[in-house]
Structure 1
Amino acid sequence: MTYEGVLTKMQTELGNPIQYYLVFEDSFLSVNQLLGKQVEISFVGYQCLNCGKKKKIFRQGFCYDCFMGSAAAGDWIMRPELSTAHLDIADRDLEYEKKVQLQPHIVYLASSSEVKVGVTRGTQVPTRWIDQGASYAISIVEVPNRYLAGITEVSLKNHFTDKTNWQKMLRNELAQIDLILEKGRVRDLLPSEVHEFYYPEKIDVHELVYPVLQYPTKVSSLNLDKTHNFIGRLTGIKGQYLIFEDGTVFNIRTFEGYVVRIDV
């Protein structure tokens, strides 16, 4: 069968294992059903996720103009401590920024390659953990806006990484850390503004199980800009990556906005 459309990040459904779906305009593909099968991925073109024009993708699925101008690509997306909607100060579009920033956010610790500190909207739990390939995660605080989550993350980045080592994550080299113990240790590291949102008794550790037949020992990335056609046997899905038998991995998130054809 052939599927064609614009790549957007895989939709996920929590389960044992997690279920993955590629959703196109006129069809969708259950990626779990492709495990063990030969898959061909071909580059067709570009389509900006914001303006819809067939322009080369610059970053985050956006063409250059949209990335530089859209409220959905402001600096506060990647650096939540720069959020200003709670002060009624706009970055690019105050109405949009209030909608996204002024809602409950979670600061969490997740175990993937190392123990990572991160921020996500409450509505994105556990999706955010799945997207980064975390095997275990625990919430530290739930705060009422993105700014408070951002300054909490900044204070904890001196003690935990805020990035995932994607190669270790895909090889399933997990950090063997007690997340409950780590949560208990962070109380004195939190900004004073968020102390009231810290609940030490909330110690639920979430385990995430990925559909992987075998983990690679070495990984190399498929780059659609350099390789317009790839064929391989799918052996796993983790984070937003497809894992192939020969160690090739394809990061769907990196190539959002690319139009592809997938033959199975």
Structure 2
Amino acid sequence: MSLSRCEAGYFIQGVFCEICIPGGWSPGGFRFECSPCRGMPENGKGEYTDYGSKVQACNYTCGLGVPNVKSNPHCYDPFNYALQFFGGVRGMVMILISVILCALLLLLRSRGKMGREVARQPLNAMTLPGISFLEPHRGVLRRFCGRLCSRIMPGSFDGLQPQLRRSLSGGEAERRPVEMQLPKEKLPFHVCRVYFHGDNRSQSPWFLDEHLPASVEQMVGPEQWQRLAAAASALAGIPVWEARKEAALGVLYPPLEPLYARQR
């Protein structure tokens, strides 16, 4: 039996003090065995390294093929280590859901942007020299043209038929066959096909230029055109509250702004 007490990290072995092997520790004194160390993960991926540990939390290292213990204190294998880096299984699920939602929102925004681009691009269904026309095949423009035509008085285009006859005199009917397709009763619907400036957004609403295009001077008088432009611009105007709502959506949740504008 040892005649003196052992130092920390040692235990009594016969008449001498023996050092604790890795995995054991001792506070010293008259102890006949080392106590087991604590702190190493229980997944079996680590091992204790130090002899003569003086505290219960002994030093350990992770095994081969496992990230270093300094950045991987739980000795996770490479797959679980990468998984824990993103917050575990729950974190990976949340990231996956977020990616899917962002992809769907971007897809909806892209489709809405493409729809608006197509809606405001002039089509070649009808074209006169110097002016472009937009066929109202899309619902929003069709409704707009219907409301615009209903607002214009039926007598706004009276006296147009003689002007059409004069415009087709002198062999001009052969050179300009498109004008022959514009009888008086159909003219308001064709005027609705004129390309409107703007993109139907709060920053740039649709409006019709008050200047009479040279290509329709023989068909529409300046006063009639100005009356049409005023009615169209007033009808296409965007209320202040709607513009503020669109601006608020652009700040709070930008993906919803184009979807809201698309519903207009």
Q: Name the TM-score, length of structure 2 as normaliser.
A: 0.23
Q: Which has the higher contact order (CA 8 A, sep 6+)?
A: 1
Q: Which has the larger radius of gyration?
A: 2
TM, length-normalised to structure 1: 0.23
Q: Larger % of helix: which?
A: 2
Higher strand share: 1
